[in-house]
Amino acid sequence: MSSLRQHRIIIASLFLPTTVVLGDSTPSSPADEVFVTTPQTTEPSLRPGLLHKSTGPLRSIVEDLKEKSRHATPAITPRGEPANPFASFSGLGTPTGSQTSSVAPQSLIGALASTITGGFTPSTNGGTQNGNNEQTPRRHQTTHSSSSAGQTRVQRRMSRGSSLRTPSRSLSSSRHDSMSLSAKWHLENNPHCNGGLKNAVDSVAGRMTHKLWVGTLGTNTDGYRESLRRSMEWRMRDEADALPVWIPDAEFASCYDEFCHQVLWPCLHYAIPDAPKTKSFYESESYKQYVAVNQRFADTIAAAYKDGDVIWVNDYHLMLLPEMLRTRLPGAPIGFFMHVAFPSSEIFRCLSDREDLLRGVLGADLIGFQTANYARHFRQTVSRILAAEALPKGVQLEDRFVDVGVFPMGIDVSSLDEKKHNPEVAEWVQLLRQRYTGMKLIVGRDKLDGIQGVRQKLQAFEAFLDKYPEYQGKIVLIQVALQTTEENEMQGSVADVVSHLNSRFSTLTYQPVVFLHTQDLTFSQYIALLTVADAFMVTSLREGMALRTHEFVECQEERHRPLILSEFTGSYSYSGFRSCIPINPWDKRMCAKAIYQALTMDKDEAKSRWEDLHSHVVTQSAQAFVTTFLVRCIRANVEHLQSDALAVAALDVQRVLPRYRHSQKRLLLVDFEGTMWQRDMETIISGKFDPPQDAIALLNRLAEDPKNEVWLLSGLPVKDALEKAAEVAPKIGIVAENGCFIKTRTGRNSESQWLSMVANFNLTWKAPCLEILNYFSERTPGSFVEEREASIVWRFWTKDEDDNSSDRQWARRQAAEAQNHIFDSLGERYGLRIIPGANSFLVLPNNISRSTAVGAILHPGGPAHSLAVQAPWVAPESTEMENATDFDFVLTIGKDEKLMRRLNELDNAETISTGNKGTDAKWKLDPSEVLPALKRFAEGK
């Protein structure tokens, strides 16, 4: 973590965690602390004895309503209903303020707000003001519509681009008035921000000491004068480590509401509309505004950037930003993380602006995804649309390499645990258990768009009530609705299903479905709801990481109730979450059966499943997500900056030779093919091997010096190749198949022998790997497979290396496809790694390399000192580099960068690279000059 402390992290996200609200600072409202997992504002405490104010029996949800209606619509907050997400209690229903007797009794939450604030209910999105500027009680989401006609159907926190804004929560009421510096304003938590990202960053606040958030306020800002904007910028920098991006309201609305939500969001989640339905997806005019918004972010970040900063771009709203920043800041470390899903290339290719979006993301040093599947989809999409070479570790562009990695997001478990023990949570838990005595509770929390599968969840719940009628009247589905745009909510088509379901099963004392909006709950109430739930249900049709499931698992520390999880979420792709009850949300009968399984599961099975889930949640933490992504981003940037081979000096033998002469024990490590010996394609195709006489003679000459221990490092197999070299050079040690086998040096009283470094490895992967490569060989002219004892090589191009014809381009694309296929199907299962080359690639066990072989050689009990087959250096845990070595001079010449980095840890090592790309070696040397340089060392005894 010390590396992060040395950098300022610039976090670019569409919405800042902090926003500006006009007026004096007011008491925090429930919306200020809703669903940011770890609220930043302090929740008001319940007054002592509040739980004992109810003297009568608990009333039903229906009794809380002013009048009964079976025409449910979850997208409306009726004006005449009391504000209560759960239940009203007798004794708390006294009207306050100027309310008349025609207004229904105030709810529990309304009573709480009144007792805490002295009768004042803070202004929220759900509230309205009367003519006397008095605030009416906060209206909470229910599933019953008001009888009055002409009501607005949607009453919820709107998107920034919406024209329906609540004055108390946005600046829309004053957008036509030029706000001056004297206008009163204060900072509040931004309800639009990426809560998971904010919590993850906050979880490492003690270690990420310097950061700067860059984003929009989430409110209309056209009416702000320049002086007021500058004032806000200074104060937000000082108090919130934030820098606002000023975007015209109309431009932002077109970008966010149209392109982001109507084009990108459906595409990334496999929701491609039919062409006759809409042209917005295929011919969106809003792309121009999307470009403009990204450009404004680039201008703001470039102006604030300082040397040493790390830029972290987040999510699909800013896919063009990395390339824009790369153009202006060529050497800056830039990371891009996609928080949502990424589809297959067949889906993404439908976008008219597909190439620009991909090139925009590829401006980053590191591109991160939630799951391996999403990362694979991205690599394949880039390969097929941009014809770039996609490898398991990233994408090779013409001028540089872009890393692509998997970084699963998590939650701050310790912070949530602290929040769970808030006394207010315990009181709400007790209230909910009293209210729903004898009832089973299914809880969900989703957006109401078509992607989150709320409609499918409701249909499955109806199927459950039909199949298991004994649960009718004994189970309630409480659905918490996250904010989204009005257009997306209408596409979700939830209202009619709820209306139908409640009309079928509601009674005077029972309502099967209750809808709440996030701004209707404090975080303590939400935690209490998760705590008392008998199951948590996620039916997403496609989703990134469902962090709400992590919260549910941690809230079930005592009860261990099961999780019902869609197979199409990113969370389910991890083995730790396979202990949930998996469902296909499109199969309502399967979902209904899953609900029954969750409700009837015995305690032992439930606990066992919960323990597996809990173990994964605490391991996949928010802290691990932030640190691994940023450290990898910094490392990737350093590697990319070293791509200029001219930055490393050419070997000056005259400077190294004195150390060589004055050393008493030397270790010489020399790569064979590509360094000492240039293997032509004709030799490769024929399979014949004749040891090059000049190279072998030089190695023997070096080995004759008693101060030298000479080792030849090769990727060739033992049989029919290196065994011949061993016969003509008996005094040198040999590493074969890139570390799979080692031939020890001949000792005074012992003969050399071949030792296997893969004796304990499972090599059954070779059969399916050969099958895959034979398939690709049939489709790639001139290619062939080289099977070795513990590794496999595929030669996909056997003609002129300088040929850049369409045939070679095809061969490279086939090679990329083959590598991805092997990596995805066999890599994790068998622990394999792939080493790509210009005309071939190598597949071998993951923990075997020339670097690990050299580690064994340097080990005190290694083959340079002992011939014991069961020596400790054979153990995998002993293959790490030993900084203490009895060699006082180490010289290595080759192309293995992993080995170069490892030997650089030794003070007495001289590392020399013969590659033509960036290197961590201390010196560069052309392969044609290797033999002359070694001759000078041989002569300089």
| pLDDT on residue 141 | 35
- Residue 846: pLDDT band (50, 70, 90) is confident
By the 8 A CB rule, do 99 and 90 touch?
no
Phi, psi for residue 662 in degrees, rounded to 5: -90, 0
Maximum CA extent, the chain: 107
Who's near 667: CB < 8 A, 6+ residues apart?
709, 711, 857, 858, 864, 885, 887, 889, 890, 891
Burial of 586 (0-12, 13-18, 19+ CB in 10 A): middle
What DSSP string describes 718-747? IIIIIHHHHHH-TTSEEEEGGGTEEEPPP-
Dihedral sign (CA 59, 61, 64, 66) = negative
Q: What is the pLDDT of residues 826-843, one digit of tens each?
A: 887 888 888 888 889 999
Between the two ends of the chain, the Cα-to-Cα distance in Å is 45
- Residue 746: pLDDT band (50, 70, 90) is confident
| pLDDT on residue 828 | 76
d(CA 833, CA 851): 14
Q: What is the pLDDT of residues 444-483, one digit of tens each?
A: 999 887 888 999 999 999 999 999 999 999 999 999 988 6
d(CA 832, CA 444): 40
Higher local confidence (pLDDT), 148 or 452: 452
> Rounded to the nearest 10 degrees, what angle do helices 454-467 and 495-505 cross at?
20
DSSP H or E segment with residue 464? helix 454-467
What DSSP string describes 601-656? --HHHHHHHHHHHHHHHHHS-HHHHHHHHHHHHHHHHHHHHTT-GGGSPBP-HHHH
- Residue 388: pLDDT band (50, 70, 90) is confident
CA-wise closest residue to 796 among 825, 838, 845: 838
- Residue 560: pLDDT band (50, 70, 90) is very high
Residue with tokens 């990108």, as numbered in its chain: 264
What DSSP string describes 812-836? HHHHHHHHHHHIIIIIHHHTEEEEE
Who's near 275: CB < 8 A, 6+ residues apart?
282
Average pLDDT over residues 768-772: 95
Flag whether pLDDT at 777 surpasses 80.
yes
d(CA 701, CA 708): 10
Average pLDDT over residues 703-731: 91
Structure token digits, residue 207: 């270690």
| pLDDT on residue 883 | 47
Instruction: List residues bridging with 834 in a β-sheet.
Output: 843
Which of 30-34, 241-245, 361-365, 545-549 is the least confident region? 30-34
Other C-beta atoms closer than 10 Å to the C-beta of 94 total: 10
> Per mean pLDDT, which of 167-181, 382-396, 598-612 is the most reliable?
598-612
Flag whether pLDDT at 612 surpasses 90.
yes
Flag whether pLDDT at 126 surpasses 50.
no
Q: What is the pLDDT of residues 651-676, one digit of tens each?
A: 999 999 999 999 999 999 999 988 99
- Residue 491: pLDDT band (50, 70, 90) is low
- Residue 377: pLDDT band (50, 70, 90) is very high
What domains are defined for the chain? 185-406 (3.40.50.2000), 413-620 (3.40.50.2000), 653-680+692-757+875-940 (3.40.50.1000), 765-844 (3.30.70.1020)
Q: How many CA atoms lie within 13 A of 317 on its CB side?
A: 22
Flag whether pLDDT at 97 surpasses 50.
no
- Residue 219: pLDDT band (50, 70, 90) is very high
Instruction: List residues bridging with 890 in a β-sheet.
Output: 667, 909
Starting at the edge strand that comes first in sequence, how are the strands of the sheet with 733-736 ordered?
754-756, 741-743, 733-736, 708-713, 666-671, 889-894, 909-913, 923-924
**Exposure string over 355-394, b if 16+ CB within 10 A, otherwise e:** eebbbbbbbbbbbbbbbbbbbbbbbbbbbbbbebbbbbbb
Strand 754-756 relative to strand 741-743: parallel, antiparallel, unpaired? antiparallel
d(CA 237, CA 303): 14
Look up residue 28 and give its DSSP letter.
P
Q: What is the pLDDT of residues 561-574, one digit of tens each?
A: 999 999 999 889 88
| pLDDT on residue 720 | 85
Average pLDDT over residues 767-787: 93
Flag whether pLDDT at 75 surpasses 50.
no
Average pLDDT over residues 300-312: 96
**Residue 227, helix vs strand vs coil:** helix
Strand 366-369 relative to strand 334-337: parallel, antiparallel, unpaired? parallel
- The whole-angstrom distance between residue 276's C-alpha and the CA centroid of its chain comes to 35
| pLDDT on residue 643 | 56
> Rounded to the nearest 10 degrees, what angle do helices 588-600 and 454-467 cross at?
70
Phi, psi for residue 409 in degrees, rounded to 5: -80, 155
- Tell me the average pLDDT of the chain: 79
By the 8 A CB rule, do 267 and 451 touch?
no
> What does the radius of gyration of the chain's CA atoms come to, in whole angstroms?
33
**Residue 252, helix vs strand vs coil:** helix
Residue type for 489, please?
Answer: E
| pLDDT on residue 905 | 83
Average pLDDT over residues 196-204: 94
Flag whether pLDDT at 507 surpasses 70.
yes
CA-wise closest residue to 824 among 368, 391, 403: 391
Flag whether pLDDT at 296 surpasses 70.
yes
Strand 185-189 relative to strand 18-22: parallel, antiparallel, unpaired? antiparallel
Other C-beta atoms closer than 10 Å to the C-beta of 675 total: 24
**Residue 294, helix vs strand vs coil:** helix
473 sits in the region (left: phi over 0; alpha: psi -120 to 50; else beta) called left
By the 8 A CB rule, do 396 and 388 touch?
yes
Higher local confidence (pLDDT), 930 or 902: 930
Report the predicted TM-score, pTM, of the whole model to 2 decimal places: 0.66
- Residue 29: pLDDT band (50, 70, 90) is very low
Higher local confidence (pLDDT), 802 or 355: 355
3-state DSSP helix/strand/coil % of the chain, to nearest 5: 40, 15, 45
By the 8 A CB rule, do 127 and 136 touch?
yes
Flag whether pLDDT at 369 surpasses 90.
yes
- Residue 418: pLDDT band (50, 70, 90) is very high
| pLDDT on residue 920 | 77
By the 8 A CB rule, do 700 and 732 touch?
yes
> Rounded to the nearest 10 degrees, what angle do helices 622-641 and 195-203 cross at?
80
d(CA 262, CA 350): 14
d(CA 82, CA 526): 19
- The whole-angstrom distance between residue 229's C-alpha and the CA centroid of its chain comes to 33
By the 8 A CB rule, do 335 and 633 touch?
yes
